[in-house]
Amino acid sequence: MTASIAHEVSQALSGILTNANICLRMLADEPPNVAGAVATAQRTIRDANRASEVVRRLREMFSNKEPVIELVDLNNAVREVIAIAGGELTRRSARLQTELADGLPALSANRVQLQQVILNLLLNAADAMGEIEDRPRSLLVRTELETDGAARLEVRDVGTGFDPAIVGKLFEPFHSTKPNGMGIGLAICRTIIESHKGRLWASPNDGPGATFSFSIPAPRPKLEVDKGSTFNAV
């Protein structure tokens, strides 16, 4: 996924170069095509802003001074995100409920990155419900222990939902249906979850809305000792 974000940024950069060249040619025309050059320069600026916004957001997510991997209690991580984002969700009339499971494994994870993922999923859910007026804007965050011991988190909304035929597209960089969306939130979320050896996916609800879920495996024991080994497990 990181490679695909890099690919998109480099596409944007080559677009910028192409447009800058077109702009120069338009100015060199006899008579100069000033209106065309202005429009092309504006496109160049838009693309450059887009590329630098992507870089800014990637920095924000990945440039923790030192990537801190610690044992993370997923439920506590959720509670902290809600403490930060709760006000924003209330402003958007989202009614947040939580169902946090007992007995989840402590995850070996970068807490700040996991919280970025949770926050992104909550904000997307609130966005998806922004125009819903005929039902309460219910938002549910659940955690669950999977049968293989992994921890799962789900964010379920009752928003506009998505067309199941394009579910893969949602995670592609720059796919956005929002007027001011960058379309990079889910791509970054997936990168983060995969760097934790986990999975992130989306499913349409039976009723209205969508559910975005991730699952992260429990950390393996520090030292795995094979039968013939003379080492002692710690």
Following CA atoms 43, 49, 55, 56 in sequence, which dihedral angle do they give, to the nearest 10 degrees?
-170
Under rule CB under 5 A, residue 185 binds Mg ion: yes
What is the DSSP-derived secondary structure letter of residue 164? G
Instruction: Tell me which residues in 119-178 interact with Mg ion (CB under 5 A).
Output: 124
Q: Determine the interface stretch with Mg ion among 22-30, 97-105, 134-142, 180-188 (rule: CB under 5 A).
A: 180-188
How many CA atoms, within 13 angstroms, populate the side-chain half-sphere of residue 7?
8
Question: Residue 204 in contact with residue 161, Cβ under 8 Å?
Answer: yes
Q: How far apart are the C-alpha atoms of 55 and 61, rounded to whole Å?
A: 10
Q: How far apart are the C-alpha atoms of 75 and 176, rounded to whole Å?
A: 29
* Total chain residues near Mg ion (CB under 5 A): 2
CB of 63 to ligand ATP, least distance (A): 18
Question: Residue 151 in contact with residue 145, Cβ under 8 Å?
Answer: yes
Give the nearer residue to Mg ion in terms of CB position, either 110 or 124: 124
Return the number of other C-beta atoms located less than 10 Å from residue 7's C-beta: 11
Return the number of other C-beta atoms located less than 10 Å from residue 107's C-beta: 23
Binding at 162: pick from ligand ATP, Mg ion, none (beta carbon under 5-8 Å per type): ligand ATP
Element (H, E) at 88: helix 74-91
CB of 144 to Mg ion, least distance (A): 23
CB of 57 to ligand ATP, least distance (A): 7
What residue ranges bind ligand ATP (CB under 6 A)?
120, 124-125, 128, 157, 159-162, 170, 175-178, 181-187, 210, 212
CB of 90 to ligand ATP, least distance (A): 18
Binding at 135: pick from ligand ATP, Mg ion, none (beta carbon under 5-8 Å per type): none
CB of 98 to ligand ATP, least distance (A): 17
Q: Determine the interface stretch with Mg ion among 34-42, 154-162, 167-175, 184-192 (rule: CB under 5 A).
A: 184-192
Binding site for Mg ion (CB under 5 A): 124, 185
